[in-house]
Amino acid sequence: MKNKTSPLYAKLSAGCKAAARKKFDVYPSAYANMWASKQQKKGKC
């Protein structure tokens, strides 16, 4: 069984999703999700 605490399984927080919606014209996109996940890893959301 795989480790569920891996960052691979982490979900984006609501704050990061909101920030991505403000920054990008189209939110459900690969670029917006990549940016949001990087911001969450940095602890900025």
Find tokens 């984006």 and name the residue: 12
pLDDT above 90 for 2? no
pTM given for the model: 0.74
pLDDT digits (tens, 9 = 90+) for 12-27: 899 999 999 999 999 8
pLDDT above 90 for 6? no
Q: What is the mean pLDDT of the chain?
A: 85
The kind and range of the H/E element at 35 are: helix 30-42
Confidence of residue 44 (pLDDT cuts 50, 70, 90): confident
7/33 Cα distance (integer angstroms) = 14
